[in-house]
Amino acid sequence: MSANKVFSEARMSVRFHRLLNGALKLLFWILLRCEVQGLQNVPLSEPMLIIVNHINFLDAVVTAVVLPRDMYLMTKIETFNAPVFNWVIWWYGVFSVRRGEVDRMALRQALNILEGGGVLLVAPEGTRSGDGLMQQARNGVAYLATKADVPILPVAVWGVEEFWKRFPRLKRTKVNVRVGVPFTFQASESRLRRNELTQMTEEAMLRLADLLPPEYRGYYSEELPTSWEYIEPFHLGSGGG
């Protein structure tokens, strides 16, 4: 079995995941000043898909550390090129996806996690913005959420774009994490057309953008619609999957 195939498959040691999270919390306490809002919105038992805006490597990691759930993370396959580090993140619960194509193996892994009752964190934009401005997302989020029939939890992170500017001066970076209200997609048909998946993705990203300060919303700067075509509330404790 090739290394790329190994790392594309989801694997997590819960004990190692929590141990590394403990170490990261200590490191973040030294390097960052995290302000977290909305933790009461996190479902504590249901399977779910977490979506986060993608500025740099820190947004997903901070989210995985501060939220009270063990979760898998999907990342670009190039992240696994570093020896030793690749095994560390694999046991942490990270698996790879090939960008710029439909990676069916990664989609299957993601569905296995969600249908098995797990939690998956993804960045729908696919690539880092660097400057913090949201970019147009891809339709994978809508596909996974409807196929696995799980709620989506939007999490907005900002401030991490200042990390590399402040780190050389040994100054802590203020990072904001805002957890939104979970929601689900209401689909009238089991097999959705591309335009329907696109509209679902648009609605999900608008909900995510609404958690960010206006200057970060970028591609999703438009006002929220007065009614949603596909989104409906998910009530904590109502179950999922």
CATH number of the domain that residue 39 is part of: 3.40.1130.10
In a domain, 240, yes or no: no
pTM above 0.85, yes or no: yes
* Amino acid present at 65: V
In a domain, 148, yes or no: yes
**Least confident range of 15-24, 55-64, 73-82:** 73-82
Going by pLDDT thresholds of 50, 70 and 90, the confidence category of residue 131 is confident
In a domain, 45, yes or no: yes
Number of domains in the chain: 1
Question: What integer best gives the mean pLDDT of the chain?
Answer: 90
**119: which strand partners?**
48
In a domain, 237, yes or no: no
Average pLDDT over residues 203-231: 94
pLDDT of 239 above 80: no
CA distances from 118 to 127, 142, 148, 154 (A): 24, 17, 11, 16
In a domain, 241, yes or no: no
In a domain, 227, yes or no: yes
**Alpha-carbon span 183 to 16, nearest angstrom:** 30
- A 10 A CB-CB count for 166 gives 14
Q: Which residue has the higher pLDDT, 19 or 191?
A: 19
Question: What pLDDT shows up at residue 140?
Answer: 86
* Domain span at 68: 3-232
Question: What pLDDT shows up at residue 241?
Answer: 43
In a domain, 83, yes or no: yes
In a domain, 239, yes or no: no
